[in-house]
Each structure stands twice: as C-alpha cells, then as structure tokens.
Amino acid sequence: MGQRDLDRTGGLFLVLGSQRLSLADYTREANDRWLKITPQDTWSSTLSRVRIARQEALEKSLEAIRSSGFPDRGSSFARLLDSCGIEKKADVILAAIQYLRSVEKEGHTQPRELRSLIVETRKWKKRTVKSWNISLYISRMLEGSPSSGGAPLLEFPRRRPRRNGYVVLTEAGRDHLDRLSLSR
C-alpha cells in the first residue's frame, strides 16, 4: 500500500456532543512509529513499540479531549442531580444507573462503577459512598417501591443474566425520577 492509499483509508474522529475531534494526527504518530521498525527487531521488541505508540496516542487523544473543555462525567452527573433535586441515596443510585445506561450506553455496570460515578460528583466523600450497600438498594428497587405504588423501579433485561449489574429502569423507575425533578 502506497502513501496515497494510506491517506484514503479513512479517518478517526471522536464526536463529543457537538464537537468533532480529529484523531488522525495521533494515529499517524503511531503509524510513523510502526514504520520505523527494522528487520533486526524481534517480535517482542516490535510489540513493545506498538504498545508504547498506542498508549502515547491514547494519552494525546485524552489530552485533546480535556483541552476542548468537554465536561467530565462526574461534573455532568452532579449538575443533573442538582438540577433535578435528586438527593436520597436510593434515588441517586437509580439516577446513576439511568445515566450510565442512557448517556454512556453501558449495558453492564458493577456496583463499584456506580460508586465511582457517584464519588466523581464530589457531592459525597469516597468513604461515605463506600458504606452505601448499593446491591441492597438495587434488590429493593427490583421488588418495588412504595413511592411508585409498589411497582418495581428496576428490572432485568431479557436475554441477559439475572444479575444486578444488568438492571435497567422500568417505566415506573423513569416516572419516579421525572416526579422528583418536577417536585423540586
């Protein structure tokens, strides 16, 4: 493949909201480093070079994201909680699940990842959030809630393991968060 063909193979872009960041410069650096491999290089040394080039490209991409002013997920989730008046532990956990499913498109979330998102808001100390029994709250929301007329706020999706990491909000769960935001 000639240089002309390499230029037409496609581009790598990261779309963040309305911003579009070209990552071509960063991937080009990885390609340039790959091209500097000599016939004397071994598999291990070549693999090490590729790993280092890839890591450097990722770090430069993350730096470009940070410098673009794109908000981190902790501050975004904190603003969402504040603007909707969500403060109780169970409601925060429910909102965190919905945030990760809707905004970050995660299909599986361990309780430690929910904890991490909540800590990133800087509204609660890490030590405080660590004491929350997130699995117990999820189990209770699977059974039903008095605030939703006894309807479950969470459910297991079809064709997924019946494990807490896969739960999604029910219609009653989404309605509950909507009611909270309207009653502030």
Average pLDDT on 168-180 reads: 91
- For residue 45, what are the domain limits? 3-67
* 91, amino acid identity: D
pTM assigned to the model = 0.65
Q: Are residues 42 and 95 in the same domain?
A: no
Examine the domain organization and report whether 54 and 111 are in the same domain.
no
Q: Would you state the pLDDT for residue 71? A: 66
Which one-letter amino acid corresponds to residue 163?
R
pLDDT tens by residue, 103-150: 888 888 899 999 999 999 999 999 999 999 999 999 999 998 676 678
How many domains, the chain?
Answer: 2
46, 67, 88 — which closes off a domain? 67
Select from 50, 67, 84 the last residue of a domain: 67
Question: CA-CA distance, 23 to 56, in Å (whole number)?
Answer: 12
Give SS3 for 110.
coil
Alpha helices in the chain (DSSP H): 3-7, 24-35, 43-67, 73-84, 89-102, 111-120, 126-130, 134-143, 171-182
pLDDT tens profile 31-83: 555 556 666 667 777 777 777 877 887 788 777 776 766 667 888 899 889 98
Q: Are residues 78 and 63 in the same domain?
A: no
